Amino acid sequence: MDLGLADRTIVVTGGSSGVGLATVRALLDEGARVATCGRDADRLAKAAAGLGAGRDRLLTGVCDVRDADAVDRFVRGAADTFGGVDGLVNNAGQSRMKGLDDSTAEDWRDELELKFAGVLNPLCAARPFLARSAAASIVNINAVLAKQPEPRLITTSAARAGILNLSKSLSAELAADGIRVNSVCLGLIDTGQWTRRHAAAATGTSYEDWQAELAADRGVALGRLGRAEEVAYAVVALLSPRASYITGTGIDVCGGVGRSIL
């Protein structure tokens, strides 16, 4: 099926690894032009080199989503290079493995700043260009934590819930400009965060066995962690003009760990 993304320009934040990188690759495979950013110049360059796309299809930039001016320069650069912006994927962010007693006031401030700046700064920069597109779409990468909090991730759970609420509000606010806003809520996805946690745990268990134990502990119905490309499929589908009547909703990509019916 032709998703209608060929020659459309999509901005993806946090595209140097994991879900962001998988999304960039999937979009390039669909013929889209992609602008992606990350905080680590070396990781971003390595990721871009592995994609094999020319400068006419792929633009990269070092950028921290908490820096509104830097985000604005990056998005404007993408619009100037490719002639506009048709889609935005807000992916930058991470999880903070802490409970209430371990979380400081600084942890709360940092978590809320990263999650909300990671959506609002790219949105403010891209909004004028999206409003001119005939198929404007925003996808916010979120987590099932937004709907079923995890005490071991208390600051992240709270921030994720706020972003899910914000996404719903934005879908109504931006509808008049023809901009759709949706969320993709992740479960346990096999990215660098989990490999680092496995290494830090130093259990002596293989990564494959550790994954299976983790999936069982968290109640993942499919019994495994998800793959980044499985998330990218949902993101690309929501960006597609074929999803033109879908806004204000969220898709869970979580292997059945989601227990909320809302």
Instruction: Give the mean model confidence (pLDDT) for residues 186-200.
Output: 85
Q: What is the Cα–Cα distance from 207 to 99, expressed in whole angstroms? A: 25
Give all strands (DSSP E) within 63-209, no chain letters. 87-90, 136-143, 179-186
Residue 218 lies in a domain: yes
The answer on 203 and 140 residing in a single domain is: no
Domain containing 73 — which CATH number?
A: 3.40.50.720
Identify residue 167 by its one-letter amino acid code.
Answer: S
Domain count, the chain: 2
Name the pTM for this structure: 0.94
Q: What is the Cα–Cα distance from 21 to 190, expressed in whole angstroms? A: 13
Kindly indicate the confidence band of residue 98, based on its pLDDT and cuts at 50, 70 and 90: confident
Kindly indicate the confidence band of residue 262, based on its pLDDT and cuts at 50, 70 and 90: low
Any bridge partners for residue 183, and if so which? Answer: 140, 250
The answer on 219 and 164 residing in a single domain is: no
Average pLDDT, the chain: 93
Q: For residue 143, give both structure tokens.
A: 């987590």
- Give the pLDDT confidence of 79-88 residue by residue, as tens digits: 999 999 999 9
Residue 4 lies in a domain: no
The answer on 183 and 129 residing in a single domain is: yes
The answer on 54 and 95 residing in a single domain is: yes
Residue 260 lies in a domain: no
Residue 258 lies in a domain: no
The answer on 113 and 221 residing in a single domain is: no
The answer on 221 and 171 residing in a single domain is: no
- Give the pLDDT confidence of 102-152 residue by residue, as tens digits: 778 888 898 899 999 999 999 999 999 999 999 999 999 999 989 988 888
The answer on 113 and 214 residing in a single domain is: no
The answer on 219 and 233 residing in a single domain is: no
Structural domain boundaries, residue 246: 9-187+226-252
The answer on 221 and 232 residing in a single domain is: no
- Give the pLDDT confidence of 205-224 residue by residue, as tens digits: 898 889 889 899 889 999 99
The answer on 211 and 153 residing in a single domain is: no
